Amino acid sequence: MAELHVIGQIVGASGFDESSLFCKWDIHAGSAWKLLAGRREGQTQVDDPQADDVAYWCHPIDVHFATKGLQGWPRLHLQVWHRDAFGRSALAGYGFCAVPARAGWHGVACGTWRPRGGPRQRLARRLLGGGPQLRRPGPALGAAERFRLRTEAAGTVHLQLAVLPRHFARYGVQS
């Protein structure tokens, strides 16, 4: 079997309308992949930036996978939420990105989107906060179902991931 280490951090997010953001993340992989070490999911701290509109989390990611095949390459699911002064959480955006395949250090900028409601919901969101969320985010929202959604673009989440594959060359895989 081959192994893959993903070591890096979720640095922060930029371009969101709201401040006081935090991110819930998890890593999904196919059935051929087994998680050997590290946490597969987590939630960052809430950052309220002093100066500009960039929220910094620096949340470490350190996972170790073993795999029997290439299908189901790990991917990261990100949900950016906004926590307001009253302690309520509202969705700011969903983002999905694939873990890079090539060995090395990668700076990944993952754009996010959020479901877009009708005009009344949009007005309510602007004034009161909150908004529609996906009923089942994550793997249930596969590629086949996306066309049902209406979304709008939100900010960008920045990640730094270093990928360390092991023994892939033994099985003739070049990345």
Binding residues for other proteins restricted to 103-122, rule: CB under 8 A: 103-107, 109-113, 116
C-beta separation of 160 from 11 below 8 A: yes
Q: Does 92 bind other proteins (CB under 8 A)?
A: no
Binders in 43-62 for other proteins, by CB under 8 A: 43-52, 54-56, 58-62
In the bound complex, what is the minimum distance in angstroms from residue 72's beta carbon to other proteins? 8
Rounded to whole angstroms, how far apart are CA atoms 132 and 27?
A: 23
Asked if 89 is part of the footprint of other proteins (rule: CB under 8 A), the reply reads: no
Nearer Cβ to other proteins (42/130): 42
Q: Which of 27, 67, 79, 80 binds other proteins (CB under 8 A)?
A: 67
123 near other proteins, judged by CB under 8 A: no
Q: How many residues bind other proteins (CB under 8 A)?
A: 97
Structure tokens at 48: 């309220």
* Residue linked to tokens 């189901």: 72
Q: Which of 26, 90, 97, 133 binds other proteins (CB under 8 A)?
A: 97
SS3 assignment, position 126:
helix
> In which residue are the tokens 């529609």 written?
132
Is residue 150 at the binding interface for other proteins, with CB under 8 A as the rule? Answer: yes
Name the minimum Å distance from CB 163 to other proteins.
9
Sole binder of other proteins in the list 120, 127, 140, 147 (CB under 8 A) = 147
CA angle 15, 79, 137 (to 5 degrees): 135
The two three-digit tokens of residue 21, written as one number: 């953001």
Instruction: Quote the least distance from Cβ 126 to other proteins, whole Å.
Output: 14
Question: Taking CB under 8 A as the rule, does residue 131 contact other proteins?
Answer: no
Per the CB < 8 A criterion, the answer to whether 67 and 32 are in contact is yes
Using CA atoms, how far apart are residues 126 and 117, in angstroms rounded to an integer?
12
Question: Quick one: CA torsion of 73, 163, 16, 81, rounded to 10 degrees?
Answer: 60
Least CB distance from residue 133 to other proteins, whole Å? 14
